[in-house]
């Protein structure tokens, strides 16, 4: 089965929606890449207190494993905040940066 390829420009035009609560998170502002070129996540603008546990510098990092579907006009993600400082589905091979 052949995969579907997208450009960053195509992805940034889609609204990101959290399936856990139906909230609109905004549009992609950046991608997080491993040095091998593998995408490890997307970044959307922050400013929403309910997702404070996912944010770094007021932006929300969404691990690639949390992206459930990329449609024609939306990207569906699943983020569930368990407790302060914890990221649901964080890629354990690439731990959060220690600033």
CA distance 31 to 14: 14
Q: List phi, psi (to 5°) of 3.
A: -80, 165
Q: What is the mean pLDDT of residues 65-74?
A: 94
Cα separation, 60 vs 51, in Å, equals: 8
Q: What is the pLDDT of residue 3?
A: 63
Q: What was the pLDDT predicted at 52?
A: 55
Q: What is the pLDDT of residues 42-62, one digit of tens each?
A: 999 976 455 556 544 678 999
pLDDT tens per residue, range 75-89? 999 998 654 544 444
Quick one: pLDDT at residue 68?
96
Give me the pLDDT at residue 50, please: 53
H helices of 1-99, in order, are 8-12
pLDDT bin (cut points 50, 70, 90) of residue 98 is: very low
pTM of the model: 0.69
């Amino acid at each position: 089965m052949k995969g579907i390829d997208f450009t960053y420009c195509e992805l940034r035009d889609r609204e990101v929606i959290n399936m856990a609560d139906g909230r609109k998170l905004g549009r992609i502002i950046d991608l997080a890449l491993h040095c091998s070129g593998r995408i490890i996540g997307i970044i959307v603008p922050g400013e929403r207190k309910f997702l404070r546990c996912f944010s770094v510098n007021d932006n929300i990092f969404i691990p690639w494993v949390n992206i459930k579907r990329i449609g024609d006009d939306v990207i569906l993600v699943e983020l569930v905040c368990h407790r302060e400082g914890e990221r649901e589905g964080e890629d354990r091979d690439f731990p959060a940066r220690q600033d």
